[in-house]
Amino acid sequence: AQSVTQLGSHVSVSEGALVLLRCNYSSSVPPYLFWYVQYPNQGLQLLLKYTSAATLVKGINGFEAEFKKSETSFHLTKPSAHMSDAAEYFCAVSDRAGGTSYGKLTFGQGTILTVHP
């Protein structure tokens, strides 16, 4: 079964600093990969997704992620953190067509991002 591991349940950065949230997946075949954000008492919102050959994916709010097959990673970055980025971030994975989990998302445990003034 597909799975993702998010390293670090809590990440704290200063406003203006680099944000790096780590995600590794387990699959012999490159899957589809997603990052979602959840603000307090709200549902999840898609930040970005990897579903094609372009390994560097840009998303909303200045976030981007790079798919690295050799490292089975899909880390999320943002060059300069803003106070409004404080939220919980989830990495998720889905099989490509033909896989048993095609069309379904499996989520990681989540990483809470805190941004200090």
Which stretches within 25-89 are classed as H helix? none
Strands (E), 16-72: 19-26, 32-38, 44-50, 56-58, 64-68
The pair of structure tokens assigned to 38 is: 């959840």
Applying CB under 8 A, among 2, 73, 94, 113 the residue interacting with another protein is: 94
Size of the site for another protein (CB under 8 A): 24
Q: Report the residue number, 17 or 30, with the smaller CB distance to another protein.
A: 30
Binding of another protein at residue 73 (CB under 8 A)? Answer: no
Please report, as ranges, the residues that interact with another protein according to CB under 8 A.
Answer: 9, 32, 41-46, 49, 51, 90, 92, 94, 96-97, 102-110
